[in-house]
Structure 1
Amino acid sequence: MDPSAGIVDSQSLRAAANIPRSTSGWDGGKKVAGRKRHLVVDCLGLVLAVMVTAASVQDRDAAVTLLERLRRLYFSVRLVWADDGYTGRLVDWAAEKLQLTLDIVKRSDDPGGDVAGHQSL
């Protein structure tokens, strides 16, 4: 079966000493100098699309290229969950240009695991 939903996120990683500065950057939020990997996975955690950027690239900026790639590879995906790093005009752009619903899931400080009204199992 083709996937119908995905999850997008990124992770900043320290760059090795031999990585050129032209391809690395500073992620001020995570306080990491290096690169950032951006992933879309399906509901089983299988990778659907990936790209690597300098750590200084904002999640919502990288998401434009990443979601376009996802759309080309998996037209069956209609819904992508994301954290609040992907808010703003990206949500409307994804709906208009890619016919993709980008659902922003709010983080909860509830120790019981409630996220946006959903109880964890």
Structure 2
Amino acid sequence: MIDSQSVKADAVVGSDSRGFDGGKLINGRKRQVVVDALGLLLAVTVTATDIGDRTAARGLLAQVADAHHLLELVWADGGYTGGLIEHCLTALTLVLLIVKRSDDRKGFVVLPKRWIVERFFAHLMRTRRLVRDFERRTSSAETMVYWSMPLLMTRRLARSRPSRA
């Protein structure tokens, strides 16, 4: 699954790597992530929020396709439509499947398979340092996201499971 999250930036973040997201009214940076079916991070990139999802996704999906050769299908929301679908199919041999919201349903709707990446973003918000972007460089911001993953994995390993009788 691929998705993006806009995060407010602290005052130390330079104007060259921050932008304004008009849809969410956030001045800061945008995290683009790709997670697997278990919700574990495959790749992340941090850009200014005024960079479009499709533009940032090209480089991120190329990075994921190079590192994970068995990857064939990526789910995405409606923000990734357009030429990105053809680019993924021809250049990266990935199928980009857009999971759209039904027009007849009102309010907040949990879409199939999309909840996995939303749960990942909720995990990031549990990490205090990632609630706001405090890093001067985008590479440091990406590293902080990678550093949050051991916390998620150890919580899952330590979770009690029902015993088999």
Return the TM-score normalized by structure 2. 0.63
Which one has a larger percent helix, Structure 1 or Structure 2? 2
SS for the counterpart of 1:37 is strand
Which residue of 39, 42, 55 maps to 2:36?
42
Which one has a larger percent strand, Structure 1 or Structure 2? 1
Instruction: After TM superposition, give the deviation of residue 31 of structure 1 in Å.
Output: 0.9
Identical counterparts, % of pairs: 46
Question: Are the structure 2 counterparts of residues 17 and 99 from structure 1 closer, same or farther at C-alpha, using a change threshold of 3 Å?
Answer: same
Partner of 1:72: 66
Question: Are the structure 2 counterparts of residues 114 and 8 from structure 1 closer, same or farther at C-alpha, using a change threshold of 3 Å?
Answer: closer
RMSD, matched Cα: 2.1
Query: Does the CA-based 8 Å contact 2:7-2:28 persist in structure 1?
Result: yes
- Partners of 2:53 and 2:109 in 1: how far apart? 24
Instruction: After TM superposition, give the deviation of residue 26 of structure 1 in Å.
Output: 0.5
- Partners of 1:63 and 1:10 in 2: how far apart? 9
* Structure of greater Rg: 2
Instruction: After TM superposition, give the deviation of residue 29 of structure 1 in Å.
Output: 1.1
- Superposed CA offset, 1:15-40 (max 9, x none): 00111111100011111000000000
Which residue of 83, 86, 106 maps to 2:100?
106
Aligned pairs, number = 112
- Superposed CA offset, 1:62-84 (max 9, x none): 00000000011101110000000
SS for the counterpart of 2:84 is helix
- Partners of 2:8 and 2:46 in 1: how far apart? 13
Q: Which runs of 5+ in 2 are unaligned?
A: 116-165
Instruction: After TM superposition, give the deviation of residue 53 of structure 1 in Å.
Output: 0.2
Partner of 2:13: 19
SS for the counterpart of 2:10 is coil
4+ residue runs of structure 1 moved beyond 6 angstroms?
Answer: none
SS for the counterpart of 1:80 is strand
Instruction: After TM superposition, give the deviation of residue 115 of structure 1 in Å.
Output: 4.2
Instruction: After TM superposition, give the deviation of residue 110 of structure 1 in Å.
Output: 5.7
